[in-house]
Structure 1
Amino acid sequence: MESKSENKGIWKYGDQWEEELLLLKSIIDKTELTETTKWGGPVYVYNKKNILGLGGFKDYFTLWFFNGVFLKDKKKKLINAQEDITKSLRQWRFTSKEEVNEKEVLEYIYEAIENEKQGKIIKPSKKEIIISELLEKEMAQNLALKDAFEKFSPYKQYEFLEYIETAKQEKTKLSRIEKVIPMILDNIGLNDKYR
């Protein structure tokens, strides 16, 4: 059995910020959010949707907003901890109790709840549809190829199309098509050998 302290993951420094986190909790308790425990730490939900979480890290304790990207952030408090990776999550970091301004914290929380009520979320970005005229032409002439292609999952179809269409020259596109036709007919995905 692991001891409890080893298994806290991102909350492993929670103890060193105990008072500070309790202060944040007491503020959040004034709102309509419900406290749950997810990923080993407190997460506050509204209608079963994650609104915010609390955590203690080595150098700061933090409030994070799951859909923080939609907050107006007039006071410029929020940061994106991992640019390019986290689209929605935003953190508000504190290094002392003195930095916690209840009125400001509540403003942000109420705004986050309001955003949730309005259903503001980032939809997963759909991949652009790629059409390969050259492959379409081949498939029009070769129905076995068309059938075989349609058996692939959309993701694998996409990989073939992307592979063909990212070639700059028509000549290269054609040679890539030559290369993938036997694979398609044998039902081998473009990257199967690497999977």
Structure 2
Amino acid sequence: MAYRERWQAEIAELQAILSGFDLKEERKWGKPCYTLDGKNVVIIQDFKEYCALGFFQGALLKDPKKLLVQLGQVQAGRVMKFTGVEEIAAKTSTIKAYLREAMAAAKAELKVETKPRELPVPDELKDKFRKDPKFKRAFEALTPGRQRGYLFHFTGAKQSATRTARIERAMPAIFEGRGFQERR
């Protein structure tokens, strides 16, 4: 569900701030996304509890005010959360400073050095591979992103029985070459 209606005033306030910069507004992922020379710089996002200004290369920013938050396991992106227009108004000069820094990083083509994230292969999956070589080949034929999605799902279970059950349920989709989140 989009929470755009709830955060309409806050989104408008952020858009007004961003309009003062030499950024191009585009719609990406259904959200206002701002680019510089074709590179994503910042996006306005709406969530249930807050709206946010998401900096695509936020890990490069100095963040002296400690306003940037890392969501999930992303390596480069950082968000600045807001819960009211007053909060945005009070932080306008800081938002602008962060935007200038993000734009300078984009112009300099700076990138966050990402580390490959190796997810452990659970013992239950290794056992299944030993017992069923066709299944192992089908899993290895998946794209790295699809493999990672399944590994994340499998390793998220605390108990061995749950991991085994998840693997069993996922087998038909893996044989069809589908990712964990893909529907038929």
Of 15, 24, 37, 1:47 maps to 37
Cα 1:124–1:104, aligned 2, differ >3 Å: closer, same or farther? closer
Mapping for residues 179-194 of structure 1, pairs under 5 Å = 191-194=136-139
Distance 1:124 1:190 in 2: 30
Q: Which residue of 1 aligns with 2:104?
A: 114
Q: Which residue of 2 aligns with 1:37?
A: 27
**SS, match of residue 110 in structure 2:** coil
**Does the 8 Å CA contact 2:41/2:56 hold for their aligned counterparts?**
yes
Q: Which residue of 2 aligns with 1:96?
A: 84
**SS, match of residue 15 in structure 1:** coil
Q: CA deviation at 1:125?
A: 4.0
Q: Which residue of 2 aligns with 1:139?
A: none
Distance 1:73 1:121 in 2: 16
* Structure 2, unpaired ranges of 5+: 122-132, 140-173, 175-184
Structure whose CA Rg is larger: 1
Cα 1:54–1:127, aligned 2, differ >3 Å: closer, same or farther? closer
Distance 1:122 1:102 in 2: 26
RMSD, aligned α-carbons: 2.4
TM-score (norm. length: structure 2): 0.62
Q: How many residues get paired?
A: 126
The alignment-based identity, stated in percent, is: 30
Distance 1:73 1:49 in 2: 21
Q: CA deviation at 1:107?
A: 0.3
Cα 1:37–1:96, aligned 2, differ >3 Å: closer, same or farther? same
Distance 1:55 1:126 in 2: 26
Q: CA deviation at 1:193?
A: 4.7
Distance 1:19 1:115 in 2: 29
Q: Which residue of 1 aligns with 2:171?
A: none
Residue by residue, what CA displacement relative to the aligned partner does 1:107-166 show, whole Å, maximum 9, x if unpaired? 0001000011111113454699xxxxxxxxxxxxxxxxxxxxxxxxxxxxxxxxxx9xxx
Q: Which residue of 1 aligns with 2:48?
A: 58
Q: CA deviation at 1:43?
A: 0.4
Q: CA deviation at 1:191?
A: 3.0
Q: CA deviation at 1:97?
A: 1.0
